[in-house]
Amino acid sequence: MEVGPSRWERAGISFEKGVEVMKDVSTSFQNSHIVLRTGGSHQKTCPPEIADVLEDKSPRILEGVKIHKLKFDEWEPVLKKLNDIKGDCNFWYTN
């Protein structure tokens, strides 16, 4: 899922409501992840520094893509950082 505050703003969704929905969606899965790519336009809208607020400092690396686990209480700080830069990232959920 590619989502973030920049998309919410264009859709008329408040930051608070967006955070609430992302947290709610995450409760349907055992694990939530943020997918961080380096280079190109992805790095501008979803910079690797987003991971600074995450506890997971050893992401899974798959073909140059870093996949960090995202804890429930980390949603708001991650999304706040995205809001500050008007960005969006890819998120992945697993059971």
Closest CA to 2 of 50, 44, 35, 47: 35
Helix (H), strand (E) at residue 41: helix 40-45
Q: Which residue has the higher pLDDT, 77 or 39?
A: 77
Question: What residues contact residue 80 under an 8 Å CB cut-off, 6+ apart?
Answer: none
Question: What residues contact residue 95 under an 8 Å CB cut-off, 6+ apart?
Answer: 29, 30, 31
Mean pLDDT of 46-73: 93
Instruction: Grade residue 39 by pLDDT with cuts at 50, 70 and 90.
Output: confident
> Which pLDDT does position 32 carry in this prediction?
97
pLDDT, tens only, 12-28: 999 999 999 999 999 99
> What residues does each domain of the chain span?
2-94
Vertex 3 angle, CA 76 and 22, to 5°: 40
